[in-house]
A = this chain, B = another copy of it.
Amino acid sequence: MTPDERAILLLGMIKTQRAHGYLVNDFIEKNLARVADMKKATAYATLDKLAKDGWIGVTTEQVGNRPPRKVYDLTPAGEAHLLSLIKQSLRAAEPLRFGSDAAVMFLDELPLPEVIEALRARAAERRAQLAMYEAAPKHGMGLGVDIALDHVRFHLAAEVGWLDATIQSLEKELLARAP
């Protein structure tokens, strides 16, 4: 998650409803865990910065004897900034990278049956993840979130497809080697 994306997330949430840090963090970890991860400290720091830059305004409120809240709301400048960030970020197509591919690159080193077994385990795990996304209820929080969930689903499905295809081709290879 780049700084810009963090800004979009926070500004977007604050636009739909003015909020303080605790609330924002809570919402992210309870409702957005599947599509976004940002740690508390990072969120607090980012909110500070957004306020310093004038994208959001701060009002300190106190309820009863609880610790005072710093409630943020979007400024007009922030509103424009948010739209421009979203537009720019929607358009961006930074290169896809798959960390785990160092292992794939050198799978030749491992005996084929072990490779197949490992990939099967991975495929099973991915299917489980996919099932979780498929079972997830519509989010309701807006069209965008559902589309984002769809995005993950798409790639999870692609991952399963790739794994199956790869496993199959390796199995063919195995048979060819030792008939």
* Residues of A in contact with B (beta carbons under 8 Å apart): 1-2, 5-6, 8-9, 12, 15, 32, 35-37, 82-83, 85-87, 89-110, 114-115, 118-119, 121-122, 125-126, 129, 142-145, 147-148, 150-152, 154-159, 161-162, 166
Rounded to whole angstroms, the CA-CA distance of A67 and B54 in the bound complex is: 53
Whole-angstrom distance from the CB of A157 to the nearest CB of chain B?
7
20 pairs of residues in contact across A and B, judged by CB atoms under 8 Å: A1-B97, A6-B102, A8-B102, A8-B106, A12-B109, A35-B101, A87-B114, A87-B118, A90-B104, A90-B118, A91-B121, A93-B125, A101-B151, A104-B151, A105-B142, A108-B144, A151-B162, A154-B161, A155-B159, A158-B158
Also in contact, A157 and B155, with CB within 8 A (given A108-B142, A144-B108): no
**Chain B residues within 8 Å of A95, by CB:** 129
Whole-angstrom distance from the CB of A82 to the nearest CB of chain B?
7
Also in contact, A36 and B90, with CB within 8 A (given A95-B129, A143-B107): no
Q: How many copies does the complex hold?
A: 2
Beta-carbon contact of B109 and A100 below 8 Å: no
| Contact among B32, B97, B102, B122 for A12, CB-based, below 8 A | B102
